[in-house]
Amino acid sequence: MIVVRSIKKMQALSRKLASEGKKIGLVPTMGFLHEGHLSLIKRAAKHSDAVITTIFVNPTQFGPNEDLNKYPRDEKGDLRKIKQAGGDIVFIPKATDIYPGDFQTYVAVEGITKTLEGAHRPTHFRGVTTIVAKLFNTTRPDVAVFGLKDYQQAMVLKQMARDLDYPIKIIVAPTVREKDGLAMSSRNKYFNPEQRKQAVCLYKALQRARTLVKNHRMTKTTVLSRAMGQIIRTICRTAEIDYIAFTDFESLRPVKKVKKNCICSLAIRLFGVRLIDNMKMM
Ligand code: PAF
């Protein structure tokens, strides 16, 4: 496995791979990898000849009061896991190379970044699209794989790829869950064992909504949201709900009644940790 730390070297390596006719798969990450990330690497390997995994905790996608400084890191462990998952190349750029002192260019998707996560984290997606555009430019992938857990992010990046004519196939891979259903996330590490048990409330609430839709033909999203709120507060008394939203999967427009292609997304603060999750309702 090759580890590359310089942007110029990464550009040269991707050009070489392309000139040899190799298909490049990209998996951008912020490190502290778990099974969810590894599933993206395995998925990328199925669609390419060389998988580049990037590790970069991207400062521009964190808000001023968010967890940039304490975001968990474990480069050694990550390299071991990427190798085991079948990764070929790991790109680990320095923050000062990605954002030099005179950096002043950002990439921003408009419409669909204004709702859900975007409404609560106003500068987040601008940071995500800027770093991913830079990683696309540096690694020149044929395919890039993102996780469905960050559903809105995946849709925003698809939009960016379309709008900016990146010849890249964006694959969205299913969420990987812990045994109790909690979506895998590097942030789950912040919980102590008792808090961790209560973190299952996101999954339980989504499951409840889906059961009401499937088994009880309940489609009114106001009623479903209320039922979800009750489940969340029963499992975790102190949970703060940022949003529970039912939207059309493609357009992200809110829906009043659940129908085909409707997804429920939610963001909750538990013990100072903000988690997101989602589930298709039909
Ligand atoms: O999903 C993430 O981990 C990040 O948002 C990404 C796509 C690696 C960009 O920093």
Ligand 1: residue of 153, 170, 278 to mutate (most ligand atoms within 8 A of CB) is 153
Q: What is the pLDDT of residue 32?
A: 98
Separation of alpha carbons 86 and 41, rounded Å: 7
For residue 125, the model assigns a pLDDT of: 98
Q: Given this model, what pLDDT does residue 260 score?
A: 92
Tokens 């859900």 identify what position? 116
What is the CATH architecture assignment of 2-173? 3-Layer(aba) Sandwich (3.40)
Q: Whose CA is nearest to atom 9 of ligand 1?
A: 128
CATH of domain 186-280: 3.30.1300.10
According to the model, what pLDDT value does residue 74 have?
Answer: 98
Cα of 237 to ligand 1 centre, how many Å?
30
- Give distance in angstroms: CA of 128 to centre of ligand 1: 6
Cβ neighbours around 249 below 10 Å, total: 14
Q: Which residues line ligand 1 (CB under 6 A)?
A: 28-30, 58, 61, 128, 131-132, 150, 153
CATH 3.30.1300.10 maps onto the chain at: 186-280
What does residue 25 show for φ and ψ, rounded to 5 degrees? -110, 135
Active site residues: 37
What are the backbone angles phi and psi of residue 236, rounded to the nearest 5°?
Answer: -135, 100
* pLDDT, tens only, 173-188: 999 999 999 999 999 9
**What is the whole-number distance in angstroms between the Cα of residue 226 and the centre of ligand 1?**
31
Is the dihedral angle over the CA atoms 149, 150, 154, 156 positive or is it negative?
A: positive
pLDDT value of position 257:
98
- Residue nearest to ligand 1 atom 2, measured at CA: 29
Q: Write down the residue that tokens 């499937």 correspond to.
A: 214
Per-residue model confidence (pLDDT) at position 233: 98
Radius of gyration of the chain (CA): 19
C-alpha 125/C-alpha 212 separation (Å) is 32
Read off the pLDDT band of 239 (50, 70, 90): very high
Rounded Cα distance between 280 and 260, Å, is: 9
Residue whose CA is at the smallest distance from ligand 1 atom 1: 29
User: Please, which pLDDT band fits residue 274 given cuts at 50, 70 and 90?
Assistant: very high
Contacts of 276 (CB under 8 A, 6+ apart): 117, 149, 150, 202, 265, 266, 267, 268
Task: Tell me what the mean pLDDT of segment 150-167 comes to.
Answer: 98
For residue 94, the model assigns a pLDDT of 98
Percent of the residues in the chain that have a pLDDT greater than 70, as a whole number: 100
How far is ligand 1, taken at its centre, from the CA of residue 129, in Å?
A: 9
Write down the pLDDT at residue 124: 98
Tokens of 165: 């004519």
pLDDT score recorded for residue 173: 98
| pLDDT tens string 243-261 | 999 999 999 999 999 999 9
CB distance 161 to 55 below 8 Å: no
Number of the ligand 1 atom closest to the C-alpha atom of 128? 9
CA-CA distance, 138 to 103, in Å (whole number)? Answer: 16
Per-residue pLDDT, averaged over 135-143, amounts to: 98
Check residue 226 and give its pLDDT. 98
**Which part of the chain has CATH 3.40.50.620?**
2-173
User: For residue 133, what are the contacts with CB-CB under 8 A and spacing of at least 6?
Assistant: 107, 160, 164
| Sequence-distant (≥ 6) Cβ neighbours of residue 211 within 8 angstroms | none
Per the prediction, the chain carries an average pLDDT of 98
